[in-house]
Amino acid sequence: MVLGQTLAQTTMKAVIILSAGHGKRMKSALPKVLHKVAGKPMLQWVLDAVKTLKVDQVIVVTSPELEHHEILKNTDVVVQEFPLGTGDALKLGVQKLNSNIDKLFLLCADTPLLNPQDLKNLEHSKADLTVVGMQLDDLNKSYGRIECNSQCNPVAIRETKHNENVKNISLGNAGVYAFKVEMLKELLPHLEINSESREIYATDLVELAVKQKYTTELVIADEENFLGVNTLVELSQAENIMQHRIKTQHMLNGVHFLLPDTSYINYDAEIGAGTIIEQSVHIGKNVHIAQNVKILGFSYLSNCTVENAASIGPFAHLRGNVVVEEHPSKGNFVEVKGSTISKNAKAKHLSYIGDAIVGEGANIGAGTITCNYNGFEKFKTHIGKNVMIGANSTLVAPIMINDGAYIAAGSVITEDVGPDNLAISRTQQQEKNAWALSFRAKYSKK
Ligand code: UD1
Ligand code: MG
């Protein structure tokens, strides 16, 4: 009996995320919800926030082009063939709801900044229909506006594009709602097509609910957390806010940004305490930086691991599975791709190091290039411990420069070099005595 009562009281919850529609205002071929903020698609931000809610089902309503996208692999997917509005998308999503679901949260996939705590507050709402509202500082914003009764409970949501006057209402609609499913199933068939846009609006449910004497409730949230991205301008605003959040977290963990506003940090960057990041640095996808590293100005890193106390840049480019071990320094205009730079190795100026292993203590002279690609295949360069590569050398891969070898400056090296040997591959220098005197004399007679 006691067990039976407990089961009956358990509320089964689901989330529907709306991610279909053209995203026409983005003026981009990429579906709106795949546009990235700090390197993560907007839809993925919303899916990740939803993980913090304890729900029994997650449904994504999406356009046909995203139906089989891997981002949706752990969700129930419903395809909305034509973008007939948020109300139409919601109707389709509800058809996929498991029969035991009592409470439904509706979210939009174009709000990448949403805060899991706000969603938790929504979880505790008691009314039949709860709307998340935000106090707008700028009344020109295009968000729908929430009309409330004297008890501050929502009675309608009006879209500004149909009536400029509603812009005087400062309570904006975040596009996030909680519904009791029983009520929703009763109201949905009554949603009508908007005569101007020819779309069905989920927002019209509020007015319908009030007419049918259902209870409504307002949950107030911070506008920043529900910034709706409909244009590339709003995408850049979301990026700025997310970057600020990400860098604040790193700074609190002991990372020193010289000019934080000038650097880009991907959402997944790991950066150890004591690391200094100078101005205008790009830390892209899959970057792991250990402690006490220096990333000097204007460096660009992606897919790389930088171990303790390394110094990178200024103007360095690391990409494609690069590992930089402890204490090396890599500097001005050095590009490294798919390579390991071992402890205490140096490459300080103007080099391309691709598909190479650079041994401990090796020194790569200015202007050294690894020729790793023949137009069809990539080849490896192995540079042993304590090797000295003279300036302006060309290493044609596949090639092995063994430990302790020297490469004379300006050489083109096409064959392996033995340990501690010197390889020179350049034309012998000639000197012609007093040549310049006779050359100048010839011209002075004219
Ligand atoms: C919507 C709300 C508005 C609110 C704002 C919050 C409506 C009618 N208006 O406006 O009150 O202030 O969100 O950001 O709901 N979508 C579909 N199918 C469609 C249309 C849209 O799945 O047919 C999806 C979109 O991918 C998007 C979400 O629904 O993620 C919201 O649609 P959008 O067109 O961005 O609505 P807004 O104009 O922002
Ligand atoms: Mg929107």
Over residues 109-149, the pLDDT tens digits come to 999 999 988 888 888 889 999 999 999 999 999 999 999 99
Return residues with CB closer than 5 A to ligand 2 (ion): 110, 228, 230
Over residues 98-107, the pLDDT tens digits come to 999 999 999 9
Nearest CA to ligand 1 atom 35: 230
Q: What is the H or E stretch that residue 132 is in?
A: strand 129-135
CA of 86 from ligand 1 middle (Å) equals 6
Q: Give the amino acid at 427.
A: T
Residue 9 binned pLDDT confidence (cut-offs 50, 70, 90): low
For 377-430, give the DSSP string: -B--EEE-TT-EEPTT-EEESSEEE-TT-EE-TT-EE-S-B-TT-EE--SPPP-
The verdict on 221 and 240 lying in the same domain is: no
How far is Cα 48 from Cα 58, in angstroms, rounded to an integer? 11
Q: Is any atom of ligand 1 closer than 6 Å to the C-beta of 144? A: yes
2 occurs within a structural domain: no
Contact criterion met (CB below 8 Å) for 261 and 280 = no
Residue 97 binned pLDDT confidence (cut-offs 50, 70, 90): very high
CA nearest to 368, candidates 328, 408, 418: 408
CA of 158 from ligand 1 middle (Å) equals 13
The verdict on 253 and 288 lying in the same domain is: yes
Over residues 191-250, the pLDDT tens digits come to 999 999 999 999 999 999 999 999 999 999 999 999 999 999 999 999 999 999 999 999
The verdict on 414 and 375 lying in the same domain is: yes
439 occurs within a structural domain: no
3 occurs within a structural domain: no
Average pLDDT over residues 73-82: 96
How far is Cα 239 from Cα 152, in angstroms, rounded to an integer? 33
Percent of the chain having pLDDT more than 90? 92
Length of the chain: 446
7 occurs within a structural domain: no
CA of 55 from ligand 1 middle (Å) equals 22
Q: Is any atom of ligand 1 closer than 6 Å to the C-beta of 89? A: yes
CA of 336 from ligand 1 middle (Å) equals 44
Q: Is any atom of ligand 1 closer than 6 Å to the C-beta of 80? A: yes
The verdict on 220 and 244 lying in the same domain is: no
The verdict on 381 and 273 lying in the same domain is: yes
Instruction: Count up the domains in the chain and report the number.
Output: 2
Q: Is any atom of ligand 1 closer than 6 Å to the C-beta of 201? A: yes
Average pLDDT over residues 158-172: 95
For 182-245, give the DSSP string: HHHHHHGGG--B-TTT--B-GGGHHHHHHHTT--EEEEE--GGGG----SHHHHHHHHHHHHHH
How far is Cα 233 from Cα 218, in angstroms, rounded to an integer? 29
CA of 338 from ligand 2 middle (Å) equals 40
Contact criterion met (CB below 8 Å) for 393 and 376 = no
How far is Cα 344 from Cα 310, in angstroms, rounded to an integer? 9
8 occurs within a structural domain: no
What pLDDT does residue 348 have? 94
Rounded to 10°, the helix 116-123/42-51 angle is 50
What pLDDT does residue 443 have? 95
What pLDDT does residue 54 have? 87
Q: Is any atom of ligand 1 closer than 6 Å to the C-beta of 175? A: yes
Q: Is any atom of ligand 1 closer than 6 Å to the C-beta of 84? A: yes
CA nearest to 62, candidates 40, 28, 35, 93: 93
Q: What is the H or E stretch that residue 246 is in?
A: helix 232-252
Q: Give the amino acid at 236.
A: S
The verdict on 94 and 35 lying in the same domain is: yes
Q: Which residues contact 326 (CB under 8 A, 6 or more apart)?
A: 307, 308, 309, 310, 343, 344
CA of 99 from ligand 1 middle (Å) equals 26
DSSP code, position 267: T
The verdict on 259 and 371 lying in the same domain is: yes
**Nearest atom in ligand 1 to 82's CA:** 23
How far is Cα 258 from Cα 34, in angstroms, rounded to an integer? 32
The verdict on 113 and 181 lying in the same domain is: yes
430 occurs within a structural domain: no
How far is Cα 403 from Cα 414, in angstroms, rounded to an integer? 17
Percent of the chain having pLDDT more than 70? 98
Q: Is any atom of ligand 1 closer than 6 Å to the C-beta of 21? A: yes
191 occurs within a structural domain: yes
Answer with the one of 226, 258, 281 that is the final residue of a domain: 226
CATH number (domain holding residue 347): 2.160.10.10
Q: Is any atom of ligand 1 closer than 6 Å to the C-beta of 351? A: no
Over residues 366-411, the pLDDT tens digits come to 999 999 999 999 999 999 999 999 999 999 999 999 999 999 999 9
> Which of 60, 77, 110, 197 maximizes ligand 1 atoms within 8 Å of its Cβ, making it the mutation to test the pocket?
110
The verdict on 221 and 236 lying in the same domain is: no
The verdict on 132 and 48 lying in the same domain is: yes
Over residues 245-294, the pLDDT tens digits come to 999 999 999 999 999 999 999 999 999 999 999 999 999 999 999 999 99
Q: Is any atom of ligand 1 closer than 6 Å to the C-beta of 173? A: yes
Q: Is any atom of ligand 1 closer than 6 Å to the C-beta of 157? A: yes
**Long-range contacts of 95-102, Cβ-Cβ distance < 8 Å, separation of 24 or more:** 96/59, 97/14, 97/16, 97/57, 97/59, 97/181, 98/12, 98/14, 98/56, 98/57, 100/12, 100/56, 101/12, 101/13, 101/14, 101/56, 101/57, 101/181, 102/11, 102/12, 102/13, 102/180, 102/181, 102/182
DSSP code, position 50: H
The verdict on 217 and 264 lying in the same domain is: no
Which residue is it, tokens 């400062």?
170
Q: Which residues contact 389 (CB under 8 A, 6 or more apart)?
A: 362, 363, 364, 365, 368, 383, 395, 401, 407
CA of 274 from ligand 1 middle (Å) equals 43
Ligand lying nearest the CA atom of residue 42: 1
Structure tokens at 387: 């090797």
Nearest CA to ligand 1 atom 8: 201
CA of 403 from ligand 1 middle (Å) equals 63
> Which residue(s) pair with 348 in the sheet?
none
243 occurs within a structural domain: yes
> Which of 86, 96, 208 maximizes ligand 1 atoms within 8 Å of its Cβ, making it the mutation to test the pocket?
86
Burial tier of 65 (Cβ tally within 10 Å: 0-12, 13-18, 19+):
exposed
pLDDT at 22 over 80: no
What pLDDT does residue 85 have? 96
pLDDT at 5 over 60: no
> Which of 18, 44, 75, 142 maximizes ligand 1 atoms within 8 Å of its Cβ, making it the mutation to test the pocket?
18
**Nearest atom in ligand 1 to 173's CA:** 12
Answer with the one of 170, 200, 226 that is the final residue of a domain: 226
CATH number (domain holding residue 52): 3.90.550.10
Cis peptide bond N-terminal to 314, omega within 30: yes
Q: Which residues are catalytic?
A: 349
Nearest CA to ligand 1 atom 32: 86
Instruction: Give how far the C-alpha of residue 101 lies from the chain's centroid of Cα atoms, to the nearest Å.
Output: 33
Domain carrying residue 337: 232-423
Answer with the one of 226, 260, 295 that is the final residue of a domain: 226
The verdict on 240 and 188 lying in the same domain is: no
pLDDT at 4 over 60: no
Over residues 29-65, the pLDDT tens digits come to 999 999 999 999 999 999 999 998 889 999 999 999 9
Over residues 306-344, the pLDDT tens digits come to 999 999 999 999 999 999 998 877 789 999 999 999 999
What pLDDT does residue 345 have? 96
